[in-house]
Structure 1
Amino acid sequence: MFKVQEIREIIKLVDASSIDEFVYEADGAKVKLKKKNGVTEVVAPKKEAAPAAVVPAPAPVVEAPKVEVAPAAPVADTAELHKITSPMVGTFYQSPNPDSPAYVKVGDKVGDESIVCIVEAMKLFNEIEAEIKGEIVEILVKDGQLVEYGQPLFLVKAE
């Protein structure tokens, strides 16, 4: 069976993509997502009706896990700064593995193709490039934090 967080991530990924329909089956469970006019609709398979003599037990209430999002400290003048944003929903990592140093730190110079972090989505590790020449002014998220599509990750002072 799927975990609530897994289903949420799948919904966000499909919603952010250009596909109209998505079907995923694993271990006898099936999730089918369809978009209608830009809105993602979750379609779950129907269960067979129980015989009239059997009274089904009430379904357990599943509470969604709470995710803490730490507010970022404001930078004095962000209007002139370029934002490197997350291209997908996933988990932000500053380094390729826990034993390695961070790709970039505040004050580091980056080039167009410099890798600044990794965003993991559904067990795929996606390297994120700076896409601009400049200096890292601020890192807006913490290592291991969940990020949304389009969420700013870094502020860069362009050269």
Structure 2
Amino acid sequence: MSKLDIDKKAIRELAEIMNETGLGEIEIETDDHRLRVSMSTSVAAPAPLVHAAVTAAATMAAVAEPAAPADVSNHPGAVKSPMVGTAYMSPEPTAPAFIQVGDTISEGQTLLIVEAMKTMNPIAAPKGGKVLEILVSDKEPVEFGQPLVIVE
């Protein structure tokens, strides 16, 4: 399948699964191609200390591209996402971010939140140290096993 030869039936089936399950994004990957279907979301007025994401009209985008190698995934200080979801860098839209590059953190400290199926999941530091790099931005979709932060 070339980059422009997109399987419309597969996209429709993935969109149907998303509607049935309430997922905001779904992705499948083969050896040399990746297909991601996502529904656009908007952030509603926040409740204290959480982000409220509301699924908007069915605006869908499909991306078919070769999988890019992740060069930081083997870094010993990489904190990886335990799930597919959306990353949030602060407890609510107007609050400061949990961490900044250069911060000294302690084990168990919340680094960010990954929202999956309307559940906010705090991602805790597996060890204390210094934040060398933040690899995701606020409201960015993340994949299972994707490096989020480098702590050393």
2:61 counterpart residue number: 65
Give the alignment of 1:29-68 within 5 angstroms: 65-66=61-62
More strand by share: 2
Separation in structure 1 between the aligned mates of residue 136 and residue 25 of structure 2, nearest angstrom: 22
Are the equivalent residues in 2 in contact too, given 1:90–1:121 (CA < 8 A)? Answer: yes
Give the counterpart of 2:98 among 86, 100, 103. Answer: 103
1:20 counterpart residue number: none
Separation in structure 2 between the aligned mates of residue 151 and residue 97 of structure 1, nearest angstrom: 23
TM-score, normalised relative to structure 2 = 0.55
Separation in structure 1 between the aligned mates of residue 123 and residue 117 of structure 2, nearest angstrom: 16
Separation in structure 2 between the aligned mates of residue 143 and residue 125 of structure 1, nearest angstrom: 14
1:45-103 alpha-carbon deviations (Å, 9 max, x no partner): xxxxxxxxxxxxxxxxx995246xxx9xx88xx97640011010000000011010000
Separation in structure 2 between the aligned mates of residue 10 and residue 103 of structure 1, nearest angstrom: 24
Separation in structure 1 between the aligned mates of residue 91 and residue 14 of structure 2, nearest angstrom: 26
**Stretches (4+) displaced over 2 A:** 5-12, 78-81
Give the counterpart of 1:153 among 123, 138, 148. Answer: 148
After superposition, the CA RMSD in angstroms is 3.4
Q: Tell me by how many angstroms 1:135 deviates.
A: 0.4
1:118 paired to 2:105: no
**What is the DSSP-based 3-state SS (H/G/I as helix, E as strand, rest coil) of the residue aligned with 2:101?**
coil
Q: Tell me by how many angstroms 1:111 deviates.
A: 1.0
Give the counterpart of 1:91 among 86, 94, 98. Answer: 86
Are the equivalent residues in 2 in contact too, given 1:110–1:133 (CA < 8 A)? Answer: yes
Q: Tell me by how many angstroms 1:9 deviates.
A: 4.3
Give the unaligned 5+ runs of structure 1.
13-61
TM-score, normalised relative to structure 1 = 0.53
Q: Tell me by how many angstroms 1:127 deviates.
A: 0.5
Q: Tell me by how many angstroms 1:106 deviates.
A: 0.1
Give the unaligned 5+ runs of structure 2.
1-12, 27-57
Q: How many equivalent residue pairs? A: 100
2:49 counterpart residue number: none
Q: What residue identity is the alignment partner of 1:142? A: S
